[in-house]
Amino acid sequence: MKVSIDDLHKAFGSRVRLGIMSALAVNDKLDFTSLKEYLDVTDGNLASHIKALEKEAFIGVEKSFVDRKPNTKYFMTKVGKKAFDDHLNALEILIKSNR
Amino acid sequence: MEKEQDYSKDIAEIRSMMERSSKFLSLSGWAGIMAGMYALAGAGIAYTVFNFNPDAIDYSAIDPGSATSALPKVMLTGLLVLILALVTAIVLSRKKAEQWGENIWNATSRRLLASMAVPLAAGGLFILIIISKGLLGLIAPLTLLFYGLALYNASKFTIDEVKFLGMVQIGLGLAATWFIEYGLLLWAIGFGVVHIVYGMYMYFRYER
């Protein structure tokens, strides 16, 4: 199998986006605050990265109300899961072939 | 071209994030050791001072005097042991989390607590009900059993060793049901000795 840098999806170029996907890979759903705690980034920074991943349809949004306060939860879509797995495989092969 | 090092770093970061966001790793070994000490002290007080060592399941029929009169004091002792152990665990785990630059109250710790709370609350209520029916001999076995179930259930949100700890407590709980007369002793082993051994293992394996 031939793997080149092109196989590394551009959406995962940023560490924050990679972090969001990693956290969502092992959690069914996470809200904004939890993601922020795990990643240690600002609201604005996180929001822009989430938006980018949403645009790729890698993550989905679920809006609800908890105690009348809006509560937004994010989850990984099937497309996102596939892209993330492919990304991991590509990383693995690249590391091996460079050795 | 991106370098190999960067890929390895990506992988390391992915792994760390997956672990941090799914497992609560700030449980302190010392908390286990201290909890064990409190439990041993509590069991010792119940046995020597209050003379509490039920050797039969049902106390409503036989001799309602001896074991039942000590019951409120024993329950208070148990409650004190629980509170002391919880406070110690929170304080020490917070300290450990701070060293790692993390918050003790996050999505993972909330899930860990929720997964423990359901079996513990069910067990607690169940035990209160059987106490009211006079089945004092079952208090020790059932606390072990439900605590073990809670640990087993919560183990998926923390280190794998907690699963084994849960199974040990479940086993001791069942043994204590079979050998009712050794209930308090097995309780002291489960909540005391096993916690201390577990805490020491945690300390030497992960914290030193």
Give tens-digit pLDDT for B6-52: 788 888 889 888 888 888 888 889 999 999 999 999 999 999 888 88
The one-letter amino acid code at A92 reads E
Q: Look at residue B70 and tell me if it is in a domain.
A: yes
Among partner residues A22, A25, A91, which is closest to B7 by beta-carbon distance?
A: A91
Please name the residues in contact with A98: beta carbons below 8 A apart, sequence gap of 6 or more.
Answer: B4, B7
Rg over alpha carbons for chain B, rounded to the nearest Å, is 20
Domain that holds residue B110: 27-207
- Per-residue confidence (pLDDT) for residue B62, from 0 to 100: 56
Q: Do B106 and A37 touch (CB under 8 A)?
A: yes
Q: What residues of B are in contact with residue A17 (Cβ under 8 Å)?
A: none
**Chain A residue with minimum CA distance to B111:** A27
Q: Report, as an integer, the average pLDDT of B164-191.
A: 96
Q: Do A91 and B10 touch (CB under 8 A)?
A: yes
Q: Look at residue A34 and tell me if it is in a domain.
A: yes
Q: Look at residue A84 and tell me if it is in a domain.
A: yes
Distance CA B34, CA A48 (A): 46
Q: Look at residue B81 and tell me if it is in a domain.
A: yes
Q: Look at residue A1 and tell me if it is in a domain.
A: no
Domain that holds residue A36: 10-98
Report the number of distinct structural domains present in chain B: 1
Report the number of distinct structural domains present in chain A: 1
Q: Look at residue A2 and tell me if it is in a domain.
A: no
Q: What residues of A are in contact with residue B15 (Cβ under 8 Å)?
A: 22
pLDDT digits (tens, 9 = 90+) for B63-106: 555 566 788 888 899 999 999 999 999 999 899 888 877 778 88
Q: Look at residue B10 and tell me if it is in a domain.
A: no
Beta carbon pairs, A and B, within 8 Å: 57
Q: Do B21 and A26 touch (CB under 8 A)?
A: yes
- Per-residue confidence (pLDDT) for residue B96, from 0 to 100: 86
**Order of strands, sheet of A59-66, starting from the edge strand that comes earlier in the sequence:** A30-31, A69-76, A59-66
Q: At what angle do helices A32-39 and A15-26 cross, to 10 degrees?
A: 120
- Per-residue confidence (pLDDT) for residue B202, from 0 to 100: 92
pLDDT digits (tens, 9 = 90+) for A69-84: 888 999 999 999 999 9
- The predicted complex's ipTM stands at 0.80
Q: Do B13 and A25 touch (CB under 8 A)?
A: no
Q: Look at residue B125 and tell me if it is in a domain.
A: yes
- Per-residue confidence (pLDDT) for residue A40, from 0 to 100: 84
Q: Which residues of B touch A (CB under 8 A)?
A: 1-2, 4, 7-8, 10-11, 13-15, 17-18, 20-22, 103, 106-107
Which one of A8, A16, A22, A66 would you mutate to disrupt binding with B, by most B Cβ within 10 Å of its Cβ? A22
pLDDT over 60 (residue A11): yes
Q: Look at residue A29 and tell me if it is in a domain.
A: yes
CATH of the domain at A75: 1.10.10.10
Q: Is the dihedral of CA A90, A93, A99, B1 positive or negative?
A: negative
Q: Look at residue B151 and tell me if it is in a domain.
A: yes
Please name the residues in contact with B135: beta carbons below 8 A apart, sequence gap of 6 or more.
Answer: B57, B58, B59, B60
pTM: 0.80
Check if the beta carbon of residue A84 is closer than 8 Å to that of residue A77: no
Check if the beta carbon of residue A21 is closer than 8 Å to that of residue B15: no
pLDDT over 70 (residue B4): no
Check if the beta carbon of residue B84 is closer than 8 Å to that of residue B57: no
Q: What residues of B are in contact with residue A91 (Cβ under 8 Å)?
A: 7, 10-11
Q: Which residues of A touch B (CB under 8 A)?
A: 5, 8, 15, 18-19, 22-23, 25-27, 30-31, 34, 37-39, 88, 91-92, 94-95, 98-99
Q: Do A38 and B18 touch (CB under 8 A)?
A: no
Q: Count Cβ neighbours within 10 Å for each residue of A26-47 and write b for 16 or more, e otherwise.
A: ebeebbbebbbbbbebeeeebe
Check if the beta carbon of residue B146 is closer than 8 Å to that of residue B120: yes
